[in-house]
């Protein structure tokens, strides 16, 4: 068991300030997917966000440290390229042998509130304004972080081979060898041949409303929680943001989601570039949702299990393939 000593947090953070100032710890904290978030305030009205990965489901210290270190590397790259929507890195302690008893990372606090997104709120035209900003951010992220790293097939083949090996060793309950073989056949059907040699780029990994911070006028002030970010093929990095994906795999997109997707695609079309053309190509397939789910299943064990339970098929997919169209 790991013992987190929150009472020592402000003293630990003070070591990252040149004057050694001990900040004030905000009484409230927030729990994300892997981290507990604390806010500390300094006398100059500057605030920092402190990320503690206490929700990682592992007793292995190296695993927990690696997760935080991977996020730190992503943030360093985003800082180097001047990506304005990511928090600024201030410091970290990547060890359990500290006064807090847990590894942690200190970032700038992004002012605003998490985006509230329902089928009716915010209303249009504010809704389209937000979607335009998210499209712009996703485009900028790919444009500024793209690099050549091989082919999409090589990337996905490595992921699938690694998972199959773990399944055969009995390390992934709920996933069978046949599940993996079925997945492999479908994966190579949904990959876009035109994007086989396209660059890799940083994908946030969880571009959901809770991680999109907006001000009172719905201007996006920043994107938080880069703990699931990684560099992936552009046809994965350019997929729909989390809140434009299916919420339930057994149901087709509702009318509100269809309208949101059209607005998102229109925003991409209004920003012509190599990257937007790549993204639009991936969104123009007749079975957009099925394609996304299969690609997602390569990086998500949860999606893998869900699709396997459905027989590697979305209930409405045949009708969509027979007469449907892409998002464009």
How large a percentage of the chain has pLDDT more than 70? Answer: 96
In this model, does residue 235 exceed pLDDT 60? yes
pLDDT interval class at 250 (50, 70, 90): confident
Write the class of the CATH domain 114-323. Answer: alpha beta
Q: Where in the chain is the domain with CATH 3.90.1200?
A: 114-323
In this model, does residue 325 exceed pLDDT 60? no
- pTM, two decimal places: 0.93
Peptide bond into 248 cis (omega under 30): no
Average pLDDT estimate for 173-195: 95
CB 55 within 8 A of CB 67: no
DSSP assignment of 182-249 equals: HHHHHHHHHS-GGGTTPPEEEE-S---GGGEEE-TT--EEEE---TT-EEEEHHHHTSPPGGGS-SST
CATH code, residues 6-109: 3.30.200.20
CB 26 within 8 A of CB 41: yes
Count of CB atoms within 10 A of residue 317's CB? 18
Tell me: the pLDDT tens digits for 84-95? Answer: 999 999 999 999
- pLDDT of res. 319: 58
- pLDDT of res. 328: 58
- pLDDT of res. 322: 56
Q: Where in the chain is the domain with CATH 3.30.200.20?
A: 6-109
- Selection from 104, 103, 72, 112 nearest residue 88 by Cα: 72
Tokens matching residue 39: 């806010």
């Amino acid at each position: 068991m790991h013992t987190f000593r929150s009472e020592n947090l402000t003293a630990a953070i003070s070591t990252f300030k040149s004057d050694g100032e001990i900040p004030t710890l905000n009484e409230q904290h927030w729990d994300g997917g892997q981290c507990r978030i604390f806010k500390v305030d300094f006398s100059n009205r500057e605030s920092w966000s402190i990320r503690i990965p206490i929700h990682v489901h592992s007793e292995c210290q190296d695993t927990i440290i690696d997760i935080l270190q991977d996020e730190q590397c992503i943030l360093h790259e985003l800082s180097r390229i001047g990506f304005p929507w990511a928090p600024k890195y201030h410091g970290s302690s990547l060890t359990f042998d500290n006064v807090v008893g847990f590894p942690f990372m200190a970032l700038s606090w992004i002012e605003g509130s998490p985006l509230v997104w329902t089928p009716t709120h915010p209303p249009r035209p504010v809704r389209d304004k937000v979607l335009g900003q998210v499209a712009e951010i996703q485009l900028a992220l790919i444009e500024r972080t793209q690099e050549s790293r091989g082919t999409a097939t090589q990337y996905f083949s490595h992921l699938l081979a690694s998972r199959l090996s773990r399944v055969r060793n009995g390390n992934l309950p709920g996933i069978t060898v046949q599940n993996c073989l079925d997945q492999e056949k479908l994966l190579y059907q949904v990959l876009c041949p035109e994007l086989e040699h396209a660059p890799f780029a940083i994908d946030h990994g969880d571009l959901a409303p809770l991680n999109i911070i907006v001000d009172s006028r719905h201007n996006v002030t920043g994107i938080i929680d880069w703990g699931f970010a990684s560099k992936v093929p552009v046809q994965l990095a350019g997929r729909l943001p989390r809140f434009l994906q299916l919420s339930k795999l057994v149901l087709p997109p509702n009318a509100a989601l269809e309208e949101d997707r059209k607005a998102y695609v229109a925003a991409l079309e209004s920003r012509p570039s190599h990257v937007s053309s790549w993204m639009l190509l991936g969104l123009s397939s007749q079975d957009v949702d099925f394609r996304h789910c299969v690609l997602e299943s390569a990086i998500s064990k949860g999606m893998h299990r869900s699709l396997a339970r459905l027989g590697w098929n979305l209930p409405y997919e045949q009708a969509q393939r027979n007469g449907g169209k892409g998002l464009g």
